[in-house]
Amino acid sequence: MSQCLNPDCLHINPDSTQFCQYYARKLRRCLRYRAIRILGKGGFGRTFLAVDEDKLSQPPCVIKQFYPQDQGTDRIEKATPPFSWQAEQLDKLGRHPQIPELLAYFTEDSQQYLVQEYIEGRDLGKVSETEGKFSAQEIRNVLAQILPILDYLHQYQVLHRDIKPENIIRCTDSKLILVDFSAAKYLSNTPNLSLEPPLVRRDMLP
């Protein structure tokens, strides 16, 4: 299925449809990214599970749509800079093996979008619901993986500001990935991203 990305529509269409049956707007973004369903939403936008149809394997990805709930001009002007900073931040920080990689950043149909790699796994909130409370050792294991990520972010003057179980994904190999930087904030208006992050990827970790 294909989900319309018009905030006032969100109609679910058949896969073969190129334009929304209700809104008559094209469904694919950048002629390649097709949204399937909503993963979540917040004060500044929505997140969609999507596929990249420009690649033969059509791998899954995540589309983040910038859509402030309060559409007033002042609100948009205040919200837009953090969104642009988020794209710059993820372009660099996404090279870290435990932060999703930024795949694209663009504006289309007067909407701004981020496209990130899709992380296969379950967030720790769902893990806790199905497996029960974490043991002391499991909590230590989580901290051992997450604290170095936060230290890495702080070196670049970035505060995540939304650390919670739902924003930590456990992959099938037990690696933890920190996601959702929509609330992230720089400690200054001129973030220090001059240093190159490590080029190691998750499949290179022990």
Question: How high is the pLDDT of residue 94?
Answer: 87
Question: How high is the pLDDT of residue 82?
Answer: 59
Q: Out of 54, 162, 173, 203, which one is annotated catalytic?
A: 162
Question: How high is the pLDDT of residue 152?
Answer: 93
Q: Catalytic: 162?
A: yes
Question: How high is the pLDDT of residue 83?
Answer: 64
- CB 157 within 8 Å of CB 191: yes
What residue spans define the domains of the chain?
A: 2-117, 122-204
User: What CATH number matches the domain at 122-204, 1.20.120.80, 3.90.180.10, 1.10.510.10, 1.10.3720.10?
Assistant: 1.10.510.10
List Cα–Cα distances, 32 to 8, 119, 174, in angstroms: 22, 19, 31
Per DSSP bridges, beta strands 33-42 and 28-29 are: antiparallel
Q: Is 42 left (phi over 0), alpha (psi -120 to 50) or beta?
A: beta
pLDDT by residue, tens only, the chain of 206 residues: 898 898 888 999 998 888 998 888 888 998 899 999 998 887 668 899 999 999 989 999 999 988 765 555 455 555 455 567 668 777 888 889 999 999 999 988 888 899 999 999 999 999 999 999 999 999 999 999 999 999 999 988 888 988 999 999 999 899 999 998 877 777 765 444 444 444 444 454 44
Question: How high is the pLDDT of residue 15?
Answer: 84
Where does 2-117 sit in CATH, by number? 3.30.200.20
